[in-house]
Amino acid sequence: MIALSEKPRIIVSACLLGNLVRFNGQHSRDRFVDSLSEFFELDTTCPEVEAGMGIPREPIRIVQNGTARVVGVQTSKDYTDLLEDFSSRKINAFRRQAIDGFIMKQKSPSCGLFSVKNYLPNGHPQGRRAGIFGEHLMASFQNQPIEEEGRLNDPLLRESFLMRVYAHHRLRSFFRSEPSAGEIVEFHSKEKLLLLAHCQKMYRHLGQMVSNPKGYKPADFKEEYVRCFMEALRSKYSHKSYINVIQHCFGYVKSDVTPDTKRHFMKVLSEYSQQMIPLSSILGVLESLIEQYQVEYLKQQTFFSPYPRELKLRNFTMGAT
């Protein structure tokens, strides 16, 4: 179970939360992002307004002219230095803050991450890229998840993003005090199956780190542990890995259950394997067995509840990868 003292903190493009900061004085409220305030502390930034471009203002776009320049669509005024300077200052300010993730406005020449149109000097669009501020964010924050709101409509990307926000928050809360070697073992023990489901290589590396923490200075241990932990969870979802972890968990109760229960579990697992039912269904069956047989090690695994259940992020059928 997640029992953290405060909500994870996400920085969001201000227009997505209904702030009237767009070039035309409007907003781009996103219903899903808005709904996250129940579970997360949402703080906003609007690079263009905070850089001093005002409301209303002329729209801008990125033109590739040797280097990428941000220019006004109407006047061709060059805003690149203004936005670059602001981005550097804002990133430095963010570095001093507790932040677990970022949600940025897609297609924005300032905030966008992957979907911003790149224009040629002749006015024709060619390819997509990051916006000026988005580029700074992605280069500066490797551990915290960063996404565009449009991509969060994809259930897999949504689950992955919010799972990583919560993971970063657990890590941040845990390393706030200097944990002892024993506390690190205890923390890591609860995360093992989640890590195993995402990346075997990092699972092994982190296990070795935890069994030999004396090989690191405390600050280096924390940095490496957090980096590798978050890298593991960035790995693309693998249906096969999840099935392996589920089978591994069933191994804890296999010899205790009745033949009927075993048959039922194998049927549900087969349906999950064939993508006929969502992850939440097979985990529900498994968790009831874990509860029935009081398997303490499994009851504590974040694999079963990496975020509040109310978010309902595992209630869809995932595609095999």
Among 22, 69, 168, 170, binds ligand SF4 (CB under 6 A): 22
The token pair that represents 202 in the structure block: 């990092």
Task: Tell me how far, at minimum, the Cβ of 105 lies from ligand SF4, in Å.
Answer: 4
H or E element at residue 132:
helix 132-140
Q: Rounded distance, CA 310 to CA 117, Å?
A: 36
Least distance CB 14 / ligand SF4 (angstroms): 4
For 27, phi and psi rounded to 5 degrees?
A: -120, 175
Helix (H, G, I), strand (E, B) or coil at 57: coil
First to last CA, the chain: 28
Q: Which of 11, 17, 48, 135 binds ligand SF4 (CB under 6 A)?
A: 48
> Of the two residues 22 and 192, which places its CB atom closer to ligand SF4 in the complex?
22
CA angle 29, 32, 33 (to 5 degrees): 65
Q: Which of residues 77-136 bind ligand SF4 (CB under 6 A)?
A: 105, 108, 110-111
- Asked if 47 is part of the footprint of ligand SF4 (rule: CB under 6 A), the reply reads yes
**Nearest distance from C-beta of residue 11 to ligand SF4, angstroms:** 10
Q: How far is the CB of 192 from ligand SF4 (least distance, A)?
A: 39
Nearer CB in complex with ligand SF4: 70/193: 70
Angle of the 132-140 helix axis to the 80-95 helix axis, nearest 10: 30
Of 49, 38, 144, give the one whose Cα is nearest residue 94. 144
| Positions 217 through 236 that interact with ligand SF4 (CB under 6 A) | none
42 touches ligand SF4 by CB under 6 A: no
Closer of 21 and 226 to ligand SF4 (Cβ):
21
Beta bridge partners of 67: 65
What distances in angstroms separate CA 149 from CA 36, 103, 105, 267, one per listed residue? 12, 6, 6, 37
Using rule CB under 6 A, residue 70 touches ligand SF4: no
**Contact residue for ligand SF4 among 10, 11, 17, 21 (CB under 6 A):** 21
CB nearer to ligand SF4: pick between 22 and 136: 22
Asked if 13 is part of the footprint of ligand SF4 (rule: CB under 6 A), the reply reads yes
- Alpha-carbon dihedral sign for residues 128, 133, 134, 135: positive
Report the nearest approach of ligand SF4 to the CB of residue 102 (Å).
11
User: How far is CA 122 from its chain centroid?
Assistant: 38
Burial 69-82 (b: 16+ CB within 10 A, else e): bbbbeeeeeebbeb
Q: Which is nearer to ligand SF4, 59 or 121 (CB)?
A: 59
Greatest C-alpha distance within the chain: 76
| Residue number with CB closer to ligand SF4 (30 or 100) | 30
Binding of residue 46 to ligand SF4 (CB under 6 A): yes
Stretch that binds ligand SF4, among 8-16, 274-282, 284-292, 303-311 (CB under 6 A): 8-16
Query: What does the binding site for ligand SF4 look like in residue numbers (CB under 6 A)?
Result: 13-15, 21-22, 46-49, 105, 108, 110-111
